[in-house]
Structure 1
Amino acid sequence: MAEVSESTGDVTAGTKVSGDVAARTVFGLALPALGVLAAEPIYLLFDIAVVGRLGALALAGLAVGGLILAQVSTQLTFLSYGTTARASRMHGAGDERGAVREGVQATWLALIIGVTVVALVQLLAGPVTSAIAGGSDIAHAAASWLRIAVFGAPLILIAMAGNGWMRGMQNTVRPLRFVIAGLVVSAIACPLLVHGLWGIPRLGLEGSAVANVIGQAVSASLFVGALVFERVPLRPQWGVMRAQMILGRDLILRSLAFQACFLSAAAVASRFGAAAVAAHQVVLQLWNLVALTLDSLAIAAQALVGAALGAGHARGATRLSWRITRWSTLFASALALMFALGHSVVPRLFTSDTAVLDDMAVVWWFFVAIIPVAGVVFALDGVLLGAGDVVFLRNATLACALVGFLPLIWLSMLRDWGLVGIWTGLTVFIVLRMLAVVWRVGTGRWAVTGADLQVRRPES
């Protein structure tokens, strides 16, 4: 059995889950998870700065190639989130070896998928980059970078799987160390290889790709080493991998719904001119920053709720759910207040163009208004992910996108509503998702106990 202690909120083996988890436990899990989520975007900014000194062509090639490679991590996050859901139940049930075995099988799955991605990209890099960049010199530069960088795909996916099982065992500090170790190596290698410093051959744009793969190999090796150190069987178990893929199918479809929405929003914004596109992109990046922050709390909710259900304590899981949601909402409200107070200052940090600032002012209050709502959505998303209720999350996300976001986006173009219509669509999307997850958690049908997530699935 497992416990959420009255005093510390730690989930440990042996006693009863109270649901009265302490704030320090939640934020103790969330802050290192936020570090993992933020580390890669921060490194990418550094990579852009290094490559940017080569000129516009190299920078454009990095942008196109990086966009394609990023789809791997975007669409395959089930290797982390799905593994956390399964491993946390094992951890809650006191089956630590079972939780680690989930990590072993997720790592095998990451390796198989990653090798497949490498083969496909080697075949399709030219046509895909040409389709995006228009067959220009940019496409050639992007394909050259991508063909090297894609060798990091299996390594990226192994790190995702490692994050998944360690989060499930409520260890978010160790994955942060592993990820940072890899990024530090990449950060050292990148300028050396790109610009040929200290007598090292100058590789140009391709040096960025090589540096990325070297750093990813370091992180992946640390995650694999952690599995070996646990001394559990390392052979593939196809039944476990099949169960993980079932979770993956639903999470991938959910992710595709997000992609369709935000790509559509960008496409429609471009119809209203450069200033509208720029304003939309800046505010959207700020929204992504907020989402990243709130997602770290969702990861904490996922690990704690999964452990409570694995321990057989549905009531404790329910109390945890609403408690973490209150904290997430309060935190999100504080972020909203900060952006509200900074409405005349923050936009000017990004541009001095009057037209862009005017368009940003149009959507700024939509952005501020949805942050507290997102605090509820992200927390309860984490709860339902921890419970393995991915069928509901898939269906709810698709329905909210089809009913709310997408119709308003395309009506904005037809009716000339501009950014107001686009951000109204985003607001409706977030509100509908909030109503859906609040209703679902309120029904209690998600709180199915037991260590085996696939055998004990809630009604969808």
Structure 2
Amino acid sequence: MHAPPEETPSQHREILRLALPAFLALVAEPLFLLTDSAIVGHLGTPQLAGLGVASAMLLTAANIFVFLAYGTTSVVARQLGAGNRGGAIAAGVDGAWLAVGLGAVTAVVVAALAAPICRLFGASPEALDHAVTYLRISAISIPAMLVVLATTGVLRGLQDTKTPLVASALGFTSNIALNLLFVYGFGWGIAGSAIGTVIAQSGMAIALVVVLMREAGRHRVTLRAHPGRILGAARTGIPLLVRTLALRAILLVTTWVAAGLGDVPLAAYQVSATIWSFLVFALDAIAIAAQALTGKALGAGDLVRTRSATTLMVRWGVLSGFVLGIVVLLLHTTLPRLFTSDPAVQAGITAALIVVALSQPLSGYVFVIDGVLIGAGDGRWLARAMVATFVAYLPLILGVHLMGDWLLSDSAGGGTRGTSNAVTWLWLAFTAFMAIRGVLMWARVRTDRWMVTGAIR
């Protein structure tokens, strides 16, 4: 990478202004899952294992369309940088309509195929029943989840991360209250957890749509659906869709390997993966700032500011990773007790969190560069790189699958120790995936090929 000019205090303030509210808003999604995991985990290990399968599929169904947020942020920020706020809002309206259409179709498919989808993971019959129940009900929330993605992307592109924060805070608070009421108050079990999440997600979507409608009204932007523009938005998002599909495939294969190890390792993986997701979203706050600032700077044709902000945000990402890693190390024996009373599951979570903690500086680097390249509109390269990473990761995670019986056997320690060994190897393989991804991103960001200036549509 070329040596950038010295960063200015205003850049630090701008990044902080965007990243801090984004952090608090982003952690709402893993907090939804952490809340569900903590509440469901005390119902029993099969319920927690079932939640692990169902939540993996639910997040996959929603997050394969994360381009609704990321792509919209880039396009809106570039329009804003070019001085066209009305065009920025119009692009956001197109993204919202696209979210409604994709969400409705996806919800029907997931609900109809909930049983065969969950069966693919090979979980125990009891865990499978709980997974199907949770997934079939929570599929109702998929349109709302996609609308939240799209409208949040619009606001981020407009350099507003505070409004999504307010919506997320209200959604998270209501999710806790509703889950406790439905699961324990009404005795609905894992179904109650799913219903509570559906209501909370729907409320968030309605609130953010109202904000978008007000912005459109101020700038006289029509709210009518334009099929041609919506299809154009869909085409623009295809590279990011491919990138996200490859990423979700990596996460699903990892969950499949965890399920093959048994309910106890799967439950331990579910909790540790949820904690990892919380950390990822925390680090992704800087990536969100990177998307918004990179898009705006390139839209204005300011390459010097783009380079300077990238270097500064990478520094922030790695430092934040170190801090988060230290926190997790300090709490790695305490956190498991919040999610389960099963000693074997606790041991697996404890072992996993050590690896998770040590990998956080790497995660900080990867997610910030990912945000920079998304903000730059470098979707095609990101798609190719993630597919290549998936191909390189498969032998590693399948190796853990092949070692599964041995890792859990008496010769490898058996019992609680066997669970710890299996989950540790699972996370070591996943950390290798992050390392491969980081090397590819380092090679890309050193060049100038990703810095294309001007507004894009």
Structure 1 residues 273-317: Cα deviation after superposition (integer angstroms, max 9, x where no partner): 888667666654443333222111101111001000111212221
1:294 equivalent to 2:283? Answer: yes
Q: Relative to 1, partners in 2 of residues 1:51 and 1:347: Cα closer, same or farther, differing over 3 Å?
A: closer
Aligned counterpart in structure 1 of residue 78 of structure 2, from 89, 106, 111: 89
Is the 8 Å Cα contact of residues 166 and 175 (structure 1) preserved in structure 2?
Answer: yes
Say if 1:412 and 1:422, in contact at 8 Å, map to a contact too.
yes
Counterpart contact for 2:291–2:376, Cα < 8 Å = yes
- For 2:372, give the aligned amino acid: V
Q: Distance in 2 between matches of 1:353 and 1:215?
A: 29
Quote the Cα distance in structure 1 between the aligned partners of 2:29 and 2:314.
27
The amino acid of 2:93's aligned partner reads V
Three-state SS of the structure 1 residue aligned to 2:333 is: helix
Query: Cα–Cα, structure 1 residues 56 and 375, in superposed 2: closer, same or farther, change >3 Å?
Result: closer
Partner of 1:310 in structure 2?
299
2:160 to 168, 171, 174: 171
Shift of 1:175: 1.0
Matched, 1:439 2:443: yes
**Is 1:350 the counterpart of 2:339 in the alignment?**
no
- State the distance in 2 between where 1:268 and 1:138 align: 15
Tell me how far apart the structure 2 counterparts of residues 216 and 25 of structure 1 sit (CA, whole Å). 29
> Given that residues 36 and 179 in structure 1 are in contact (C-alpha distance below 8 angstroms), is that contact kept between their aligned partners in structure 2?
yes
Which moves more between the two structures, 23-32 or 131-140?
131-140
Deviation per CA, 1:51-99: give whole Å up to 9, x if none.
6677777767665544433322222211111111111111111211111
Match of residue 408 from structure 1 = 396
Contact 1:301/1:324 (8 A) holds in 2: yes
Call closer, same or farther: CA 1:353–1:437 in 2, change over 3 Å.
same
Output the TM-score relative to the length of structure 2. Answer: 0.80
The answer to whether the 8 A contact 1:408-1:424 is kept is no
Greater relative contact order, per chain length (Cα 8 Å cut-off, separation 6+): 2
Instruction: Report the Cα distance in structure 2 between the residues aligned to 1:211 and 1:283, rounded to whole angstroms.
Output: 23
In structure 2, which of residues 156, 181, 205 is the aligned counterpart of residue 220 of structure 1? 205
Please provide the CA RMSD for this pair: 3.7
The C-alpha deviation readout for 1:194-249, integer Å capped at 9, x for no partner, is 5667xxxx766554444333333322222221122121111223343233323432
Cα distance in 2 between the residues matched to 1:277 and 1:193 = 25
**Distance across 2 between alignment mates of 1:396 and 1:451:** 25
Please tell me whether the aligned partners of residues 58 and 205 of structure 1 are also in contact (alpha carbons under 8 angstroms). Answer: yes
Structure 2 match to 1:35: 24
Q: In 2 relative to 1, CA 228–360 (structure 1 residues): closer, same or farther, beyond 3 Å?
A: closer
Task: Indicate conservation of the 8 Å contact 2:49/2:270, yes or no.
Answer: no
Verify the 8 A CA contact 1:129 1:142 in the aligned structure 2: yes
Q: 1:354 Cα deviation (Å)?
A: 8.8
Q: Shift of the alpha carbon at 1:449?
A: 0.7
Amino acid paired to 1:452? I
Match of 1:426 among 400, 409, 430: 430
1:250, distance to aligned residue in structure 2 (A): 2.2
Q: 1:330 to 1:125 in 2, by over 3 A?
A: closer
Give the Cα separation in 2 of the matches to 1:139 and 1:357. Answer: 22
Q: Which amino acid letter does the alignment assign opposite residue 366 of structure 2?
A: V
Secondary structure of the equivalent of 1:451?
coil
SS at match of 2:359: helix
Structure 1, gaps ≥5 residues long: 1-5, 7-17, 454-460
Shift in CA distance, 63/427, structure 1 to aligned 2, threshold 3 Å: closer
Map residues 70-149 of structure 1 onto 2, 5 A cutoff: 70-129=59-118, 143=132, 145-149=134-138
Q: For residue 395 of structure 2, what is the amino acid of its counterpart?
A: P
- Deviating more after overlay: 248-257 vs 296-305: 248-257
Q: Secondary structure at 2:27's aligned position in 1?
A: helix
- Between 1:365-374 and 1:137-146, the stretch displaced more is 137-146
Q: Which amino acid aligns with 1:220?
A: A
2:319 alignment partner in structure 1: 330
Partner of 1:15: none
Distance 1:225-1:263 versus aligned 2 partners, 3 A rule:
closer
* Residue 455 (structure 2) aligned to one of 448, 451, 454: 451
Task: Look up the SS of the partner of 1:443 in the other structure.
Answer: coil
Structure-1-length-normalised TM-score? 0.79
Q: Is the 8 A contact 1:287 1:367 kept in 2?
A: yes
Whether the 8 Å contact between 2:397 and 2:429 is mirrored in structure 1 is yes
Which runs of 5 or more residues in structure 2 are unaligned? 1-5, 408-420
* 1:1-43 deviation line (CA, Å, top 9, x unaligned): xxxxx9xxxxxxxxxxx97753232122112212222113323
Cα pair distance change 1:350/1:142, threshold 3 Å:
closer
2: CA distance, partners of 1:72 / 1:29: 28
Conserved 8 A contact 1:118-1:151: yes
Amino acid at match of 1:451: A
Which is worse superposed, 330-339 or 287-296?
330-339
Q: Which residue identity lines up with residue 435 of structure 2 in the other structure?
A: V
Work out the CA distance in 1 between the residues paired with 2:256 and 2:43. 29
Distance 1:282 1:317 in 2: 38
Residue 142 of structure 2 corresponds to residue 153 of structure 1: yes
Which residue pairs with 1:393 in the alignment?
Answer: 382
Return the alpha-carbon distance in structure 1 between the equivalents of residues 40 and 277 of structure 2: 24
CA distance 1:186–1:297, change in 2 (3 Å): same
Change in 2 beyond 3 A, CA 1:451/1:194: same
Map of 2:214 onto structure 1: 229
What SS does the corresponding residue of 2:113 show, helix, strand or coil? Answer: helix
Which of 214, 217, 234 pairs up with 1:245?
A: 234
For 2:49 and 2:348, how far apart are their aligned partners in 1? 26
Query: Displacement of 1:439 after TM fit?
Result: 2.1
Deviations 1:149-196, CA, capped at 9 Å, x for gaps: 322221111111111000011111101112323343444444445566
Distance 1:302 1:19, change over 3 A: farther
- CA distance, structure 1, for counterparts of residue 235 and residue 306 of structure 2: 24
Match of 2:441, as an amino acid?
Answer: V
Q: Displacement of 1:440 after TM fit? A: 1.5
Structure 1 position 371, deviation (Å)? 2.3
Q: Distance in 1 between matches of 2:369 and 2:255?
A: 27
Find the aligned partners of 2:303 and 2:164 in 1 and give their Cα distance. 28
Identity %: 35
